[in-house]
Amino acid sequence: MKGVGMIDPVYRHAGRCPVCEQDVEFRSPKTWYRDYLVCSGCGSIPRERAIAHVLSGSFPAWRRMSIHESSPSDRGISRKLSQQCTDYIATQFFPEMRLGSIASGFRNENLEAQTFDDQRFDLVITLDVMEHVSQPESVLKEVARTLKPGGAYVFTVPTYKGKIDSERRALYKPDGSIDHLVPEPEYHGNPISDAGSLVTFHYGYDLPERIYSWSAMDVEVRRFHDHHHGIIGDFTEVYICRKLT
């Protein structure tokens, strides 16, 4: 007999979780796997497992690297990074507070104007942050500035397969007001605010070239359809941007 409140999953599959590194079952109550396909062991979702899979394969020494993660959640790969990386800095952006200060356990940083020294990090990581920034060009320049030669920016962001050209949907003005460029603004969850995060861009297939033009970093895009590691559904892309010099 089913327990009260139990829901039959629309998908379940045995596999190996790249985050908790255990044999687990991946299951989802909905077909929107991106947010609902969870690991039975650690509760991670596909984009978190995708980042973990890339780190273990391409940056196996990540635990000994200097890592900056912006806007982490309290689960999945973010929790693993905070627990296992010896030089890990987590940041959030609190506009009302001084940049570089500590607030609620995080360093306060605006990705568009960071206070970190040049060549501070081996890796910079963000999960679904770039679609919320107002000036992505500034973010990429700042990320490149703070990376050591040979370092990389590893991130996820929704990439729309029907778009060739990226679309700006909102613009934050210098006075703090917002210029909405579409009839219905879109918001995603925010780990530090119940108001959510405004979506400023829908990115298309021009994003890698944009990244190169902004930062001179070469870009590799990995797209997954990996049942064994629980990385399926929409928007499974991971971007790996390397600073060569």
**Structure confidence by residue, pLDDT tens digits, 27-49:** 999 999 999 999 999 999 999 99
Residue 192: inside a domain? yes
pLDDT of residue 10: 96
101-159 pLDDT tens trace: 999 999 999 999 999 999 999 999 999 999 999 999 999 999 999 999 999 999 999 99
**Domain for residue 18, yes or no?**
no
Total domain count, the chain: 1
Characterize the bridge pairing of strands 147-156 and 238-242. antiparallel
CATH, residue 157: 3.40.50.150
pLDDT of residue 84: 98
Instruction: Give the predicted TM-score (pTM) of the model.
Output: 0.93
Q: With contact defined as beta carbons under 8 Å apart, do 79 and 52 qualify?
A: no
- Work out the angle between the directed axes of helices 136-146 and 207-215 (0-180°, nearest 10): 60
> CA-CA distance, 65 to 128, in Å (whole number)?
22
- Predicted confidence at residue 242, as pLDDT, reads 98
Residue 62 lies in a domain: yes
Range of the domain at 173: 47-242
Nearest CA-CA partner of 231 in 16, 10, 41: 16
Task: Tell me whether residue 61 is in a domain.
Answer: yes
**What's the rounded Cα separation, in Å, for the pair 85 and 67?**
8
Asked whether residue 87 is domain-assigned, the answer is yes
* Other Cβ atoms closer than 10 A to 215: 21
pLDDT exceeds cutoff 60 at 5? no
Q: What is the rounded distance in angstroms from the CA atom of residue 210 to the CA atom of residue 136? A: 9
> 197 forms bridges with which residues in the sheet?
188
Give a yes or no: residue 80 inside a domain. yes
Kindly state whether residue 40 falls inside one of the protein's structural domains.
no
pLDDT of residue 176: 84
- Does residue 77 lie within any of the structural domains? yes
Cβ neighbors of 152 (< 8 A, separation 6 or more) are: 58, 59, 122, 123, 124, 240, 241, 242, 243
Q: What is the pLDDT of residues 155-211, one digit of tens each?
A: 999 999 989 999 999 999 988 899 999 999 999 877 767 778 999 999 999 999 999
